[in-house]
Amino acid sequence: MEGGEHVVPSAGLSFAIGERANRVHLWFKAAFNIDIQNSESSLSVGFISLRDGRDVWLRLTTQEGAGTIQILTEDMELAGEVLQDLCSFLQVNELETLAEFPQEMEAFRAVLLRVDDYNAARVKMIAEMADMSQAAKTLVIKAEDARILEDIKSMRWAYSELYHLNIGLLGEYSKRANNHEQLLLALKEVNHMIQKAAQLRVGMPKVRVVSACRAAIKANNIHALFKIIKTGHQ
């Protein structure tokens, strides 16, 4: 990261912390290796992330011994990494935060919609393949009956239909395999989002976010899921 004057992102996290301002300043110097020109009770410094060139701001305000810290960035993963490093330095074991990442949440909503689409397609393909398998069994029986009756014309017709049906089944299996692969990739994205949301908290709040998010997904409660990621609570 590099210091300078930059646009303050609208996304990021905020949280209360019961540490003196000078302790936060010590972490800042240790983490970024630069001197702070702010007053003893405040901190407001902008950077550019070398990962993607986007702006990052760190702000500290204090009042009557209590402090509020903001990590302002559009990158949820980066915010979590900064938070975890700060809490490790200050030896903070429990921390609740308020997270606002509208762009990432909109992208996450699209991922959840893809998961729904893949699941719906999977159910439909399973039903269609079951029908085709049953039709194949029926054709095998008809072909065998025709063979026993020496009805060559009917037997050839049954085997011809069975051949085309088998080609269709192979095609459906290929589509189902592709759908399954895409579903797994989307579910990995969902799991990654849950892990990123957890990294925005410390201690029991971190554990609670993971379990609450998974419960919300299982219940297909998207509203609750988004609230948990934002506030850490249902």
Percent share of the chain, pLDDT over 70:
93
Tell me 95's DSSP state: B
What beta strand segments (E) does the chain contain?
Answer: 2-4, 12-17, 42-48, 55-63, 66-72, 98-100
**pLDDT tens per residue across span 62-93:** 766 668 899 999 999 999 999 999 999 999 99
**pLDDT tens per residue across span 17-45:** 887 777 888 888 888 887 766 556 677 88
- What was the pLDDT predicted at 79? 95
- What was the pLDDT predicted at 173? 93
Mean pLDDT within 36-58: 78
**pLDDT tens per residue across span 85-114:** 999 999 999 999 999 999 999 999 999 999
**pLDDT tens per residue across span 176-187:** 999 999 999 999
**pLDDT tens per residue across span 128-170:** 999 999 999 999 999 999 999 999 999 999 999 999 999 999 9
**Tokens 């999977």 sit at which residue?**
122
Q: Which helix (H) or strand (E) element contains residue 51? A: none
At 6, the pLDDT band (50, 70, 90 cuts) reads low
- What was the pLDDT predicted at 2? 42
**Tokens 């702000």 sit at which residue?**
59
Q: Which residues contact 35 (CB under 8 A, 6 or more apart)?
A: 29
Q: Which helix (H) or strand (E) element contains residue 234? A: none
- What was the pLDDT predicted at 4? 44
Mean pLDDT within 185-210: 96
What beta strand segments (E) does 12-158 contain?
Answer: 12-17, 42-48, 55-63, 66-72, 98-100
Closest of 183, 185, 142 to residue 162, by C-alpha: 142
The rounded distance, in Å, linking the Cα atoms of 196 and 206 is: 10
CA atoms within 13 A on the CB side of 64: 0
The rounded distance, in Å, linking the Cα atoms of 160 and 232 is: 60
Give the type of residue at 36: I
Asked if residue 184 lies in contact with residue 200, where contact means CB atoms within 8 angstroms, the answer is: no
- Domains delineated in the chain: 2-92 (3.30.310.10), 102-231 (no CATH)
Closest of 38, 37, 60, 57 to residue 49, by C-alpha: 57
Mean pLDDT within 212-232: 93
Better-scored residue on pLDDT, 29 or 192:
192
CA-based R_g, the chain, Å: 28
Residue 1 clears pLDDT 50, i.e. is over it: no
- What was the pLDDT predicted at 169? 92
